[in-house]
Amino acid sequence: MSHELSLKEIKKEWHGTLKSYVIGFITSILLTAASFYIVIAKVFTGSVLVLTITMLALAQAIFQLRYFLHLGQEAKPRWESVVFYFMIMVLLIIAIGSLWIMHDLNDRVMSDMTNMPMEKHHD
Amino acid sequence: METLAVHHTHDSHADTRVPDPHQDTFSKTILGFWMYLMTDCILFATLFATYAVLHNSTFGGPSSRDIFSLSIASIETMILLFSSVTCGLGVLSAVHSKKNQIILWFALTFVLGASFVAIELHEFSHLVLEGNSWNRSAFLSSFFTLVGTHGLHVTVGLFWMIVMIVQVLLSGITVATFRRLVVFSMFWHFLDLVWIFIFTIVYLMGVI
C-alpha cells in the first residue's frame, strides 16, 4: 500500500520556486518598511495606527505563508490547511479570551492596585 | 487483501490508480512537522497574550517607550527576512542538485541567524546591566519570555543548520537529506513569521 517516492518525485512535491521567494521577499520588505514609516512619521495616531500596523503585519504573514511556507499548495485533501485553520481558532480563543478576561479583571480590581504607588506619593 | 479491496470500493469516487498522496514518508514527515509548528504557534500565542495583558504593568519601572530601540529591531527584522530567503534558496539549490550552492546558502543563513542572536543578546545584556532585567516588572518578565523564547528557537535552528551542512557534505543530496532541508526551511520561515508579530506588537506598538 505505502508507496515510497524517489528523490525526483519528492522534489516535485516541494513547491518553492525562485519566483515565490522573490515575491515573498519584496512584499515583506515593502510591508515592513511601510509599518516602520507609518510609526516613525506618525502618519496616524491612536487606534487607527494600531489597526493599520496590525493589518500590515497580517498581510505580511499571509504573503509569507503563501510564498515561503507554500500553504494551501499541498495535494488534496489539504490537511496542512485544515491544521492551520484549527490552530488559528485556538489562537483566537487564547488571545481574545485572555485579553477580554484580564481587561475585565483590570477594570474591576486591578485599577486601584496599579495606581497605588502614585497614590502613596500624593498622600 | 480481499478486505482491503472491499474497503476501497466503499467510496465510489476513490481514485485507486494513483497512490494516496499522503502515504509516503516525505508527505507524512512534512505534515507531522507542520503540526509541530502549529502547536509551537499556540505556545507563542499564549506568550503574546501574556505580553499583551502585562505590557502596562511596569510597577514603577521603565515602560516599553523608555527602553525599546526601533532601529535595532528593524535591523533584526531585515536580517531574519534575508536569512529566510537565503534558506529557501538553499532548498532550491537542492532541487537543482547543486551541492556547493546548498552549503553556500545555508552558511549565509547561519551567519545571518547568528548575527540576529548576537544583536538580541546584546540588547538583552544592555537591559539587564541597566537594571531592567526580567525581575524588574511583570512587563519585562513577559517581554523577556516572549522574545527570549523566539531567540531560543533561532539558536536551536543554528545548531540544526550545522548538523545539516555536515550531513549534506557527507551524504550529498539524498531522499533523507532533502527531506531534512525542507523540514528545516519550514522551521526557519516559521520563525520569521513569528518575528513579524514580535516586531509589530512589541517594538512598533511599544514606541507609539
pLDDT for residue A13: 86
pLDDT digits (tens, 9 = 90+) for B63-116: 999 999 999 999 999 999 999 999 999 999 999 999 999 999 999 999 999 999
In a mutagenesis test of the B interface, which of A12, A18, A21 is the best target, namely the one with the most B β-carbons within 10 Å?
Answer: A21
Name the fold adopted by B69-208: Four Helix Bundle (Hemerythrin (Met), subunit A) (1.20.120)
ipTM above 0.90, yes or no: no
Task: Look up cell 485579553; give the residue.
Answer: A99
Which among A68, A75, A94 has the least Cβ separation from residue B42?
A94
Asked if residues B79 and B163 have their Cβ atoms less than 8 Å apart, the reply is no
CA B208/CA A4 separation, integer angstroms = 54
| Helix H or strand E encompassing A9 | helix A7-13
pLDDT for residue A121: 46
pLDDT for residue A123: 42
Which among A17, A25, A54 has the least Cβ separation from residue B85?
A25
Which among A6, A16, A87 has the least Cβ separation from residue B88?
A16
pLDDT for residue A5: 86
- Strand, coil or helix: B174: coil
Residues of chain B with C-beta less than 8 angstroms from the C-beta of A19: none
Q: Residue A40 pLDDT > 80, yes or no?
A: yes
Q: Residue A91 pLDDT > 60, yes or no?
A: yes
Share of chain B above pLDDT 90, in %: 85
Mean pLDDT across A40-65: 94
Q: Between chains, do B26 and A13 touch, taking CB under 8 Å as contact?
A: yes
Q: Residue B3 pLDDT > 60, yes or no?
A: no
Asked which of A61-65, A105-109, B31-35 is least confident by mean pLDDT, the reply is A105-109
- Max Cα-Cα span within chain A: 79
pLDDT for residue B5: 47
Q: Residue B12 pLDDT > 80, yes or no?
A: no
| Helix H or strand E encompassing A111 | helix A111-114
Q: Residue A89 pLDDT > 80, yes or no?
A: yes
Pairwise pLDDT comparison (A73 vs B189), residue with the higher score: B189
pLDDT for residue A119: 45
> Mind telling me how many Å the CA of B51 is from chain A's nearest CA?
10
pLDDT digits (tens, 9 = 90+) for B156-168: 999 999 999 999 9
CA A121/CA B80 separation, integer angstroms = 45
Mean pLDDT across B148-161: 98
> Mind telling me how many Å the CA of A123 is from chain B's nearest CA?
17
Pairwise pLDDT comparison (A77 vs A66), residue with the higher score: A66
pTM: 0.88
pLDDT for residue B18: 59
Asked which of A114-118, B60-64, B105-109, B183-187 is least confident by mean pLDDT, the reply is A114-118
Asked if residues A31 and A74 have their Cβ atoms less than 8 Å apart, the reply is no
CA B160/CA B110 separation, integer angstroms = 10
pLDDT digits (tens, 9 = 90+) for B28-60: 999 999 999 999 999 999 999 999 999 999 999
Mean pLDDT score across all residues of chain A: 86
Mean pLDDT across B11-32: 73
Residues of chain B with C-beta less than 8 angstroms from the C-beta of A2: 23-24
Pairwise pLDDT comparison (B188 vs B2), residue with the higher score: B188
pLDDT for residue B94: 95
Q: Could you tell me the pLDDT band of residue B14, with boundaries at 50, 70 and 90? A: low
In a mutagenesis test of the B interface, which of A45, A51, A91 is the best target, namely the one with the most B β-carbons within 10 Å?
Answer: A91
CA B33/CA B28 separation, integer angstroms = 8
